[in-house]
Structure 1
């Protein structure tokens, strides 16, 4: 380990230098916060009960409170806490969910709720009951009202070793001395967080649950990079050192001591566990090869799609939708001169065309960022044509942290904080510019930003707090694909037909996901079979889909939610058109879906019912 050259400071000495009025008691120290078994109603109303449920959840996931901008006032102590990743902490989380699920069901038995209140309690019921079924399984990491359910607590794209450096840099605020103190309080909890994960990793290995060897190879490389960085202080100290806030700079020496002397050894222990797992790992990629894997995968599919579709049903739906999309791509390919070979083969030829590649290295990275900015500007100007109710997202585009890029997808995005202080973001993977093409980057931008994830999140942030917290993969990703469709319908590719191929290939890519995910986890496909299916059937870039397939192995079922959700939104639109006839309104339908908030697909359908009935 690296020797510490700065002199040692006690936490109290350092905090004393941050500024007057910062109380150790108010910050809650380094102990993780205890949470009540249920969320009590704040004022006896349905809204008060929903807020009580929300804050009971946030006492277990304090990072979400910061991301939403609600760790203020009487909830300010949330800013100094981290989620308890130990098995004991996860059991306590499940206990809270169990109690509040009962509360939500009691409220749903009342006949005095408004339609919006009933929808919110239905959302709680769906999210909590699904999560509790996941907590009842003997291993894995359960996302409560979110998308990243994983059988492996730490792997190439799961774990605090990845999440916390990004969170502390991009989300934890450093506006005053109390923020700097809260930053230190959080750093002090990181060793316990990592140790909690380690205990669950070891327990899973004792059950015979070990990730496939090719995922472990990536995770080991990334963990080594994170550990090397932590041995010097690195990413977890940099936000303090780079801040203009005097209190933050004053906290940096203590932060460096915490990171190098306490966090680095905890990371080293996790690395040792990954080495132990490598010794017994196999190359089998799917959940079928893990204990109770079939059961785990069926639950993951239900969580991801909010349906009871079986693996076989999803597999066949994916194949059918892929064939239909290739039929739409065929005439465009012929029209631009690609006439021989399968659609997949011709899309590979298109991908190799230098006209559609970005430059290599930093010049290409700058070109990509400028391209994204231009497309965001264009699509933002079109939104009054698609919605009656408009939002104005605070939005930024950032490159993924370098340590995260090897195991990450091409991009991802999400809404900002509820109070608007933290922007919505599109994170773009720029480890190589060859991940992106000029004919597919526009579509990716619409998916992650406007009218996709960032746009939709702005509406959810206007709803009760619990609705801003709880999100459903099928709606989130289905809406983002629907956002891609809206961009096409608004004329995004009228003057660039090759760009429409990129959009259709994107939809086809999501249909492929349904086939590949179920192939890996249910039909016992190899990793090579999965990669080859993407490359041969859809013309996808091999380097891109290798990371994609690895992601499906570590997040089983998640990839199926995209197209299942999109197809259901489109089906609901057709249903509304048929039922309403001349009264149907494009902007009105879009408002009905997005204003209803992020919801399970059956709850979303009820919102459409109300739109139809109100015409």
Structure 2
């Protein structure tokens, strides 16, 4: 998950939330009578200033209705001028935050203050780099509106009425502007010395071509409005109108973006890490801080990864030997196990449908186990979906999108099914526990559903907290007994832990040790036994999101450390449900803040 101000500052409780926000803005923080009131007003001001200027966020939250319905026909402004203007506003808000007396705040508000200050200061630190905006490359196989907007329009822009369909077409017509704005920013990145590696350009050009080489009538931008207006019996020439916009306006903008990138392909180098960019070593340090919310160095992350790879490999060796697998390295044995025909789904439409059906059955079983480990269970459901085929070539293996706050759209866990051989049966359960329940969906939905939490804090998030929780959720599922009759699945779970440990090595290897793409791929294939195609996608992801891959295991280590500390301090009084609820109630904070919250919780349980 990116620490991206535009993505994370989305919140409000449909209509009433914005009204309350507007009321809070009537008094500025400077005029507030207390530190607590000042902080509340400032948090609401941050929501107001960014939420109302992000039509896509309003749609994601299901808030583009009623008085905000006009926003449903617009897309976000992606221009550099807008980014610069937002930064000016945000700097002023952070000045207001620093003016608040932290010592005068109650405990809960102190947590909000600390989380927001870390977030703000980290965002501002990233402004020193003259390229990207949260990631080093504006356009890559994982970044850019070409990659995100078609799926956003298909899955998040609701169509219930003719007005909704008209708004959809307006957004399709606005898509070229978004593309051109990002093309201009990409060219500014190039001028600043941030040209992606040649293999990243190649993958990005492939995905762009997948879009504009598709006949306009078959584009998801066209078929989505045709399908959904038909489902609602909305008469109109929606498909023909969409097709004209796609062919005449969207595709030319996609080609302009591809041409601008292709023009620099000959100048691109093969070096994979951001160390080669201007001030690149400092950029990686910032990436580590952003994603892990820690002060670890690249060298420390590398050493930690090597240590944990060795420990987890030893544990996997024991489980593999119990299955009679004794010959070869741990990676070789896991690879052989994953290639066994019994572990593979057919790489056909029917095979992929069966895979999705099995994952849904797995989630139904997990739902029966959750009440034994959690006092709070999310009200929002979660759906399991296939990654859209037009982006699956460069998309991650799995990812999660949060539900709408008004309940109009469930959470969604996406799995990449470009090749079922990348997903042996033994690996699928732990991926689903990570992305859905008790992982990302459980944590994020609970955070959004806390009625007494300020609007901003319902969705402010940090990768180390959420990804660390996702990895802890994988471990918790094992402790719940889900693999009691599935020892091969338990090996898959341990491989997942090992995978996250190798990410520490790979991420720091690329950006600190200056490893090549090929060296990093070889290390991960040999250590894990994963397919080279799956590992290649992973390594290329680390190249464009420096630091993010390290957040998983760093966060997981903190959750495990806190639980062990609580168990040692409380003994028989330790309650796993209470521990989990306390951790979830923290709701998206830096690891340093989580540590303080749980330390205080442990002390309170002892009295």
TM surpasses 0.5: yes
Pairing of 1:61-72 with structure 2 (within 5 A) = 61-72=54-65
- Mark the CA change 1:73 to 1:605 in structure 2 (over 3 Å): closer, same or farther: farther
The 3-state SS of whatever aligns with 2:495 is: helix
- Mark the CA change 1:84 to 1:450 in structure 2 (over 3 Å): closer, same or farther: same
In the alignment, is the contact (CA less than 8 A) between 2:373 and 2:577 conserved in 1?
Answer: yes
The 3-state SS of whatever aligns with 1:405 is: coil
CA distance in structure 1 between the partners assigned to 2:68 and 2:41 by the alignment: 15
In the alignment, is the contact (CA less than 8 A) between 2:42 and 2:93 conserved in 1?
Answer: no
Pairing of 1:185-264 with structure 2 (within 5 A) = 185-229=170-214, 231-232=216-217, 234-243=219-228, 244-245=231-232, 249-264=236-251
Pairing of 1:32-431 with structure 2 (within 5 A) = 41-42=24-25, 45=37, 46-107=39-100, 109=102, 111=104, 113-142=105-134, 150-229=135-214, 231-232=216-217, 234-243=219-228, 244-245=231-232, 249-431=236-418
The 3-state SS of whatever aligns with 1:439 is: helix
- Mark the CA change 1:405 to 1:555 in structure 2 (over 3 Å): closer, same or farther: same
* Corresponding residue number in structure 2 for 1:597: 587
Q: C-alpha deviations, 1:550-575, integer Å up to 9, x for none?
A: 11111111111000001111111111
CA distance in structure 1 between the partners assigned to 2:189 and 2:71 by the alignment: 30
Task: Tell me the CA shift for residue 198 of structure 1.
Answer: 0.7
Q: C-alpha deviations, 1:415-472, integer Å up to 9, x for none?
A: 2111221110111111111010111101111011000111111111124331233211
* Corresponding residue number in structure 1 for 2:499: 509
CA distance in structure 2 between the partners assigned to 1:361 and 1:233 by the alignment: 21
Residue 444 of structure 2 corresponds to residue 457 of structure 1: yes
CA distance in structure 1 between the partners assigned to 2:56 and 2:100 by the alignment: 28
Q: C-alpha deviations, 1:571-603, integer Å up to 9, x for none?
A: 111111222222211111111111110111111
CA distance in structure 2 between the partners assigned to 1:225 and 1:97 by the alignment: 37
Task: Tell me the CA shift for residue 182 of structure 1.
Answer: 2.8
CA distance in structure 2 between the partners assigned to 1:280 and 1:248 by the alignment: 51
In the alignment, is the contact (CA less than 8 A) between 2:102 and 2:113 conserved in 1?
Answer: no
In the alignment, is the contact (CA less than 8 A) between 1:174 and 1:248 conserved in 2?
Answer: no
In the alignment, is the contact (CA less than 8 A) between 2:221 and 2:246 conserved in 1?
Answer: yes
- Mark the CA change 1:251 to 1:98 in structure 2 (over 3 Å): closer, same or farther: farther
* Corresponding residue number in structure 2 for 1:6: none
CA distance in structure 2 between the partners assigned to 1:464 and 1:185 by the alignment: 33
* Corresponding residue number in structure 2 for 1:34: none
The 3-state SS of whatever aligns with 1:407 is: coil
In the alignment, is the contact (CA less than 8 A) between 2:217 and 2:239 conserved in 1?
Answer: no
* Corresponding residue number in structure 2 for 1:531: 521
The 3-state SS of whatever aligns with 1:426 is: strand
Unaligned runs of 5+ in 2: 1-20, 28-36
- Mark the CA change 1:230 to 1:361 in structure 2 (over 3 Å): closer, same or farther: closer
CA distance in structure 2 between the partners assigned to 1:125 and 1:41 by the alignment: 20
- Mark the CA change 1:339 to 1:400 in structure 2 (over 3 Å): closer, same or farther: same
In the alignment, is the contact (CA less than 8 A) between 1:418 and 1:468 conserved in 2?
Answer: no
- Mark the CA change 1:262 to 1:39 in structure 2 (over 3 Å): closer, same or farther: farther
Q: C-alpha deviations, 1:172-196, integer Å up to 9, x for none?
A: 1112344234323323322221111
Task: Tell me the CA shift for residue 403 of structure 1.
Answer: 1.1
The 3-state SS of whatever aligns with 2:384 is: strand
* Corresponding residue number in structure 2 for 1:35: none
CA distance in structure 2 between the partners assigned to 1:107 and 1:255 by the alignment: 51
- Mark the CA change 1:60 to 1:136 in structure 2 (over 3 Å): closer, same or farther: farther
Aligned residues: 570
In the alignment, is the contact (CA less than 8 A) between 2:216 and 2:243 conserved in 1?
Answer: no
In the alignment, is the contact (CA less than 8 A) between 1:414 and 1:449 conserved in 2?
Answer: no
Q: What's the TM-score, normalizing by structure 1?
A: 0.89
In the alignment, is the contact (CA less than 8 A) between 1:415 and 1:455 conserved in 2?
Answer: no
Q: What's the TM-score, normalizing by structure 2?
A: 0.90
- Mark the CA change 1:189 to 1:114 in structure 2 (over 3 Å): closer, same or farther: farther
Q: C-alpha deviations, 1:343-387, integer Å up to 9, x for none?
A: 112112212222212222123212211210111011111001111
Q: C-alpha deviations, 1:262-298, integer Å up to 9, x for none?
A: 2222111101012112121111111112222112111
- Mark the CA change 1:104 to 1:185 in structure 2 (over 3 Å): closer, same or farther: farther
In the alignment, is the contact (CA less than 8 A) between 1:287 and 1:293 conserved in 2?
Answer: yes
- Mark the CA change 1:420 to 1:108 in structure 2 (over 3 Å): closer, same or farther: farther
Q: C-alpha deviations, 1:96-126, integer Å up to 9, x for none?
A: 2212222333345362x44333322322222
The 3-state SS of whatever aligns with 1:589 is: helix
CA distance in structure 1 between the partners assigned to 2:103 and 2:163 by the alignment: 43
Task: Tell me the CA shift for residue 247 of structure 1.
Answer: 5.3
Q: C-alpha deviations, 1:135-181, integer Å up to 9, x for none?
A: 33100132xxxxxxx21111111110110000000001112344234
- Mark the CA change 1:57 to 1:598 in structure 2 (over 3 Å): closer, same or farther: same
RMSD of equivalent CA atoms = 2.0
Pairing of 1:477-516 with structure 2 (within 5 A) = 477-516=467-506
